[in-house]
Structure 1
Amino acid sequence: MQSNLTEAVAALMPGLKDDLARLVAIPSVSEWGYPPHTRPAILAAHDAVVDLLRDAGVRDIRDLELPGTAPIITGTIPGPEGSPTVLLYSHYDIVGAGDEAEWTSPPFEATERDGAIFGRGAADTKANVLVHVGALRAWGGRPPVTIKVLIEGQEEVGSPLEEGFPSRHPEHFRADAILIADGGSIRAGQPSLTVSLRGDARITVEVRTLAGGKHSGQYGGAAPDALIVLLRALTTLWDDHGNVAVAGLRREEWPGETYTDEEFRALAEIEPGLSIVGTGGLGSKIWSGPAITVLGIDAPAVDGAPASVQAQARALLNVRVHPEQPAAEAQAAVVAHLAAQRPFGVPLTITAGATGDGFRTSPTGAAGDAMVAAMDAAWSGTTVQTATGGAIPLVKAIADAIPEAAIFVFGATDSFANIHGPDERVLIDEWRRATLAEALFFHEIAERWAVR
C-alpha cells in the first residue's frame, strides 16, 4: 500500500502545483467582520476550494454561514461501515502581502525556484488545503475511512469558530481523529507533530500624572513623568537575564524536539553579537514557559518631539502562557504584579483584555500510532514532537468540545517558510511528504480500527 500511495502522490504533484498557482493568484486576504471590499476575493477562493474538494470526491458540500464571517465549507465522504471518522481542517484566507517591494517575485503569482513555490498563502495555508485534496485524490476519492471536511475563510484575523462554537455545535467536529493542516516540520526533512500550543492574554497598562504636558525645563525633575513611570513599572516584569519575573506563571523544561541555538538565531534574525535572552533550555523559553512582549507603547515620536514632561502614557502587553496553564490565571498574575507597582508613588491603571487557552496532547492510542507510522513512512525518518509559541485557540476549543478525538497539528510548511512575511514559500518536497502522510494515515487508522 505504501508504494502504491507514494507513486500516486508523486503523479499528482504537477496537477497540485497548478492548483496551488490558481489559489495563490486569488488575494483572499481576510479582515475581521468580513467587510464588503474583501468578499469578491474571499468568495473566489471559497469557490475554487469547493471545486477542488468536489473533484476529490467530497460530497454533500455545504456552506456554514455565521454572522460577520466568510462562508465555512463543510462536506463528507462516507466510508466503509464501521470505519473511523477523520475530520480534515484548514483555511483558505490569508494575510496581506505587505510591502510588495520586499518580495523577490510578485506575491500573488506562484513562482517556482530552488525547490520551492513562492507566493502569499503558498505555505499558510493553501498548500495545506491541497494536502487534504491530494490525499483524497490519491485514494480516488474513496478512502477507507469516513471523511468530514471543514475549511474556513477567516482564520487569520480570529476564527468565529473559536468563540465556543464547537461546544455549542459539536456535530460539525465530532470525529475519531482531527487533522489540523495548518503547520509543518520544525526543519525540512524532519517529520514533526505539533503537540503543544501556548495560550495568550492581552493587558493594557495606563498612567496619568498631569493635566497636560509641561515644559521639561520648568517642571522636569519634580513633576512626575508618566512615560518614565510606565517604563519603570514595565522593567519589573523581567529579571536581569531576560526571564519573566512574575510570580505564578508556570514554566518547565520542554521535553520534545526544539531548535538549536544556531537555528533560532537564524530564524529570529538576531543581530550579530547579541545573545539569546533568558536562562534554561530554548524550548522552555519559547514553548513551555511564559513570555511577555510590549506590543505597543504610546509615546511621542523622536522627530519633532516637544520638550515636555509627559502627562500620560500607555502600553499594550501580550502574555504567552504555558500550554496547560489557564490563560486567565496567568493574566491575573501579571495584573496583580503590575498593580503592586508604585513607581515614585504613582499607581497604574490596568485593564485585562482577551485571553485564549493553550493546548497540549500526546499522539497515543490507535490514532496516534497510525499518525506516527504514516509520518515516519512519508518522511523516511522518526517523527518528533514539537510545539509552537503561537496560539491556535480553535484547537483548544475543539479539544474541549470533543475530548475523545485525537487531534493532530501537522502540514506542509517548515520553520523557514516565512509565513506572514515577504517571500513566503512552501518546499515542494515537504508538501509532497505531508500529502503522502495524510494518505497513508487513512490506511493506517483504518487497519488499526479493524482490529480493535
Structure 2
Amino acid sequence: MSTPPAVDATRLRDALERLVAVPSVAFPGFPEAPVREAADVTVAVLEEAGVTGIERVDVPGAPPAIYAHLRAADPDAPTVLLYAHYDVQPGGPEESWTTPAFEPTERDGRLYGRGTADDKCGVALHAAALAAFRGEDGALAPPVHVKVLIEGEEETGNGTLSKLVAADPDRFRADAFVIADGSNVATGTPTLTTSLRGMAVVDVTIDTLEAPVHSGVAGGPGPDALLALSRLIASLHHDDGSVAVEGLDVLPWDGAAIDPEEWRAEVGVLEGVDLLGTGPIADQLFVRPSVTAIGIDAPTVDTAANALIPRAKARLSVRLAPTQDPAAAAQAVIAHVFAHVPWGAQVTVAEGPGAPGAILAGEGRVAEAAARALESGYGAPAVRIGSGGAIPLCADLSTIYPDAAFVLWGPGDERSRIHAGDESVDLADLERAAVAEVAFLVDVGAAGR
C-alpha cells in the first residue's frame, strides 16, 4: 500500500467543534431550526474539504440527508460510500455535564460535548479524509469513486433513510460501505465491529382484579397483578441469569475477548453483585440473546395505597444474535409468556418495533484493507468486536446490497459516554481514525474491483 496523504488535524477538530455547537436533536418536540442548521454546517464542512456537487436529499417527514458523488480518474475503480449522521441525542440533565452539552470543550486531550462521539465525529473524519486527496488546484482526486451520505434522523430510529435507499438502490449502490458510527474497545486500540445484535420489544400486561382491593381484606388469597408480573419476569431467566426463552439463536464468537473484571468496572457493577449468564462476556454481549425488563407500569412507592394491584405492565427489550429474525424472536418471547403465566392471570401482549442484526466485514478483501488501514492509522493491530446494540441501517443496507462489504468503525472509546452526560472523544484517536480512513481508500483503490 502506498503512503497515504496527510490529514489536517486542525481542520478536523474545527469541523467537529462547529458541528457539536449546534443542538441538532431531531426528536419530536424539539425545535427544527437547529437540525436544519446542522445540515447547513455539514454541507459547509464538506465543501471546505473540496467536495462538490453536494445535494440535500428530501427525506419525507425527516430532516434532509446530505449526499455527494465524487468520481475517481479510473472509471473502473471501486465505489465506497461514507456514512455518518448529524443528528444527536438530547443533552439530558444539565447536572450530568461538567461543561454545557453544546459548548465543545477540551479537557485532558478529549473534546466534550453532545455528538462528539455519536456521531458528528463521523461527519468530521469523512470530510478530513476526503480533504487529504485535494490537489494543488483544490479539486479532489480520490483513488476510488466516493459517495457521501449523511443522515439527519438516525437517533430517532424511524428508519426513513433505509426506505429512501431501498426506493432508489442504484443511486446509493457501492462495493463497500464505511459506517462511521462505531467505537474502539479502548483509547488507542483500533477496532472493527463485525457483528450487530438485533432487537425485539414485547409489552406484557397482567390483569388479576377488577379494581384495587385493600390488602387487609384480600391479602393472602387475592391475586396481586404486580406479584404475578414479577414471577413472570423471573421465569425469563434460569437461576444463573442465562435466558430461559426457547427458540432464540446463539452463535459462536471468535473475535476479541472481554476481561470480566475490566467489564465490571466499566459498567459499574456493584461490589459483591454477580455477573449473569454463562460463558465468555464477549459471547454474551455480541452473539447471544438477552432479555431485560426496561420498564414497569405500577404504582410508585410514594403514591402507593395499601391495596392489591389489579393491573401491571412491563416492557421487555430483547437483544438478539445477528442472524435472528426479530419477528420470530418476539413470537418466541410471547410463547414463553403464555406458557409461564402464574395463577391463571389474564395476559395481553403487544409486539413493539424490532430491528434485525447483521454480520459485517469480518473477512475478505475489504475487511483486510480495513484492518491494515487501522493499523496504519493507530500504529497498533486492529481487533474485532461485535456490538450489543442494534444499528438498523447496517442491517437494512446489507439486505439491499447483499454483495457489498461493510466496515463499521469510529473514534469513540470506553470513556465516550455515548447518550449520557459528558460525552467525549479522544482527539488523538479522532485524528488516527481519519488517517486510517485515508489509508483505507488508498488501499481499496490500489486493489481495484
Shorter-chain TM band: over 0.9
5 Å-filtered alignment, 1:319-358, equals 319-358=318-357
Q: Where do residues 243-254 of structure 1 align in structure 2 (5 Å cutoff)?
A: 243-254=242-253
* SS at 1:314 equivalent: strand
Within 5 Å, give how 1:66-105 maps onto structure 2: 66-80=59-73, 81-105=75-99
Residue 404 of structure 1: how far off its partner (Å): 1.2
More displaced 10-residue stretch of structure 1: 359-368 or 408-417: 359-368
Q: Secondary structure at the match of 2:54?
A: strand
Aligned ranges for residues 139-288 of structure 1 at < 5 Å? 139-140=133-134, 141-161=140-160, 164-288=163-287
2:293, 2:317 within 8 Å by CA — same for their partners in 1? yes
The equivalent residue for 1:125 is 119
Cα displacement (A) at 1:59: 2.2
Report if the CA contact (8 A) 1:162-1:397 is conserved: no
Partner of 2:36: 43
Structure 2: stretches of 5+ with no match in the other structure: 135-139
TM-superposed deviation, 1:3: 5.1
Is the Cα contact below 8 Å between 1:341 and 1:347 reproduced in 2? no
Contact 2:204 2:315 in 1 (8 A): yes
1:404 and 1:279 map into 2 onto residues whose CA distance is: 35
Q: Give the structure 2 partner of residue 59 of structure 1.
A: 52
Q: Assess if the C-alpha contact under 8 Å between 1:86 and 1:145 holds in 2.
A: yes
User: Which of the numbers 19, 22, 26 marks the counterpart of 2:18?
Assistant: 22
Structure-1-length-normalised TM-score: 0.95
- Cα deviation, residue 429, structure 1: 1.3
Change (3 A) 1:16 1:98: same
**Cα offset, 1:263, TM superposition:** 2.3
**Aligned 8 A contact 1:186 1:258 in 2:** no
Q: Name the amino acid aligned to 2:101.
A: P
CA 1:2–1:82: 2 relative to 1, 3 Å: closer
Q: Which runs of 5+ in 1 are unaligned?
A: none
Could you tell me whether the CA contact under 8 Å between 1:321 and 1:358 is conserved in 2?
yes
CA distance in 2, matches of 1:48, 1:162: 20
Q: Which moved more, 1:309-318 or 1:152-161?
A: 152-161
Identity of aligned residues (%): 40
> Do the aligned residues in 2 keep the contact of 1:243 with 1:279 (CA within 8 Å)?
yes
CA–CA distance in 2 between the matches of 1:285 and 1:236? 19
Which has the larger displacement, 255-264 or 315-324? 255-264
Return the letter of the residue paired with 2:237.
W
Q: Which amino acid aligns with 2:90?
A: G
Q: Deviations over 1:61-118 (max 9, x none)?
A: 1122122111111111111221111101000000011111221112111111111111
How does the TM-score come out when normalised to structure 2? 0.95
Name which of structure 1's ranges 346-355 and 228-237 shifts more when overlaid on structure 2. Answer: 346-355
For residues 168 and 384 of structure 2, the distance between their equivalents in structure 1, rounded to whole angstroms, comes to 30
Cα drift, residue 232 of structure 1: 1.0
Partners of 1:290 and 1:96 lie apart in 2 by 28
Aligned residues: 443
Counterpart of 2:124, as a letter, is L
Shift of the 175–215 alpha-carbon distance from structure 1 to 2, 3 Å rule, reads same
Given that 2:177 and 2:405 are in contact with CA atoms closer than 8 Å, whether structure 1 keeps it comes out as yes
Residue 129 of structure 1, CA deviation: 0.8
Task: Work out the CA distance in 2 between the residues paired with 1:135 and 1:210.
Answer: 63
Distance 1:139 1:363 in 2: 27
Change (3 A) 1:4 1:158: closer
Which whole-Å CA distance do the structure 1 matches of 2:198 and 2:16 have between them? 32
Cα deviation per residue 1:21-67 (whole Å; 9 max; x = unaligned)? Answer: 211111111205xx6x5211001110000011122222221122122
Q: CA 1:270–1:432 in 2, change beyond 3 Å: closer, same or farther?
A: same
Three-state SS of the structure 2 residue aligned to 1:407 is strand
1:395 Cα deviation from its structure 2 partner: 0.4
- Counterpart of 1:87 in 2: which secondary structure? strand
Are the counterparts in 2 of residues 341 and 348 from structure 1 also a CA contact under 8 Å? no
SS in 2 for 1:348: strand
User: 1:189-210 CA distances to partner (integer Å, 9 max, x unpaired)?
Assistant: 2111101000000101011111
**Cα RMSD, aligned residues only:** 1.6
Following superposition, the deviation at residue 133 of structure 1 comes to: 0.4
Tell me the CA shift for residue 426 of structure 1.
0.3
1:339 touches 1:350 (CA, 8 Å); kept in 2? no
Counterpart contact for 1:57–1:142, Cα < 8 Å: no
Indicate conservation of the 8 Å contact 1:179/1:409, yes or no: yes
| Alpha-carbon separation, structure 2, partners of 1:108 and 1:2 | 39
How many angstroms apart in 1 are the aligned matches of 2:326 and 2:80?
29
Q: Check whether the contact 2:49–2:131 (CA below 8 A) recurs between aligned residues.
A: yes
CA contact (8 A) 2:59 2:160 kept: no
Give the Cα separation in 1 of the matches to 2:177 and 2:360.
Answer: 12
Q: Secondary structure at the match of 2:32?
A: helix
Deviates more, 1:369-378 or 1:309-318: 369-378
Deviations, residues 165-214 of structure 1 (Å, cap 9, x unaligned): 43332123200111000012111121111010000001010111111111
- Quick one: structure 1 residues 218 and 162, their matched pair in 2 at CA, closer, same or farther if it must change by over 3 Å? farther
Return the offset for 1:4: 5.5
Query: C-alpha distance in 1, partners of 2:107/2:156?
Result: 30
Bigger mean CA offset, 436-445 vs 96-105: 96-105
Deviates more, 1:243-252 or 1:156-165: 156-165
Superposed counterparts of 1:342-381, under 5 Å:
342-381=341-380
